[in-house]
Structures are given as C-alpha cells and as structure tokens.
Amino acid sequence: MAAGFPGNPRHRLALILVDVNRSFFDTDGPFHYPGALENLGPLHQLLDAARAGGRLVVHAREAHRRGFHDYERPKLPEHSYLGDRDQEPYPGFEEQPGEVVIHKRRFSAFFATDLALLLQEQGVERVIIAGVKTNVCIRASVQDAFAYGFRPTVARGSVSSNRPHLHEASLEDIQRYIGEVVDLDVAIGWLRNEGPRSGVEKRGENQGPRSGVEKRGENERPRD
C-alpha cells in the first residue's frame, strides 16, 4: 500500500464470495449439486473470520434481467433473474452493512462489473475467492483477479464442482500458474490476522501441504 494511502489497511486482504445463492445451494435450485452443501461450513468460517478481522467482504452474485436477451443462453437455462428466489443469497450469507454486493452476468466476478476498480481504490492486494463452481466462476474470477494485479487465493474446502476431475484440474492450474491454493485454516488465520505469521505480504506464507495439487520448489518455474 502506498504511503499516505487513505484507505483502511485491513482491506489489503479481501474476501470475495462467488454465487453463494439459492440457485446452487437450495436442494431444489436449478444448479444444485450435492457437493455444494459440503462447502457451507468452510464458507461460513471464512465469512466469520473476514468479519471478525475487519476485512473487505464482497458478495458476487449472478443476476439477470427478465425479458431481455441474454448471451448465456442457450448454453445455460434461464436462471437467477433479479427478484427471483433462486437469485437470493443462501440463508446465512446475506450482506451486512459495509459489505459490497456485485451483480454479475458472466462467469467472472470481474467481467463488466466495477469490482476491480473497487478493490484498487480500497488498496486491496490479496483476494481470497470462495464459492462455486471451481472450474467455472471461481476459475474465471481467479484468472481475472490475477490479470488485474491482485494475488488470488483459494482455500481448500471452500470451493467445489459437480465435476470432480475439473475441480482438481482447476486447483492445479490456479496453484501452478495464477495464484495460490492454501488450507482452510491458513486462509482463516490470514483473515483474522492471528499469529506472528498471518500477514499477507509474503507470497505463500503459512501455506500448508498441497494435497491434490502438484508440488514444486519455491524457485521452480512452470515448464509448460
């Protein structure tokens, strides 16, 4: 953060929750899959930690306009119209005062929204991105976060997909090329800022074992 920056220094680290809405998490939602429910506990832990730590919290939710053509179709069925039940936040993940809601119409939380501008103006350096699905909206949001110059991080257990092989492949790509994949307790510690090594200044700090993600040396470059 630049000297004299007027923003909140606690906002150097932000939590971005992606599509934590009824569409995916209600058992009768149009995009529900059983594995999504396993993410609710970790997502609650991240959100609680971010709030306790005074971090910037962003809720990025898909939102479409009824009655207008949408380029997502015919790839996806009609869903998440503003004001409809499936577009609502899943209970327990409603925004609180001081938290930001971003309405997105594409997979990435950054595309055609003011999210990057918002984060830049708040002096954000690292973003922890959590929600669904790993190989679609999470992967797209992580890649755009990297492209905008932020340090994207994904906590294990806080993302999933109905296609497990693509979930694992996406985590491997993120770790190898784009950002970091860390254990849940590491991300919680960063958000709460607990302990002597809980800062976000050093890349890879407090990173736990990379189960399911390829390991490589600190200075090793990707070969492909």
Band of residue 85 on the pLDDT scale cut at 50, 70, 90:
confident
Q: Tell me if residue 137 is catalytic.
A: yes
**Per the residue annotation, which of 18, 137, 155, 159 is the catalytic one?**
137
Average pLDDT, the chain: 85
Q: For the chain, which domains are there?
A: 9-192 (3.40.50.850)
Band of residue 17 on the pLDDT scale cut at 50, 70, 90:
very high
Band of residue 202 on the pLDDT scale cut at 50, 70, 90:
very low
Query: Among 96, 126, 107, which residue's Cα sits nearest to residue 31?
Result: 107
> Once rounded to an integer, what is the mean pLDDT over residues 39-52?
98
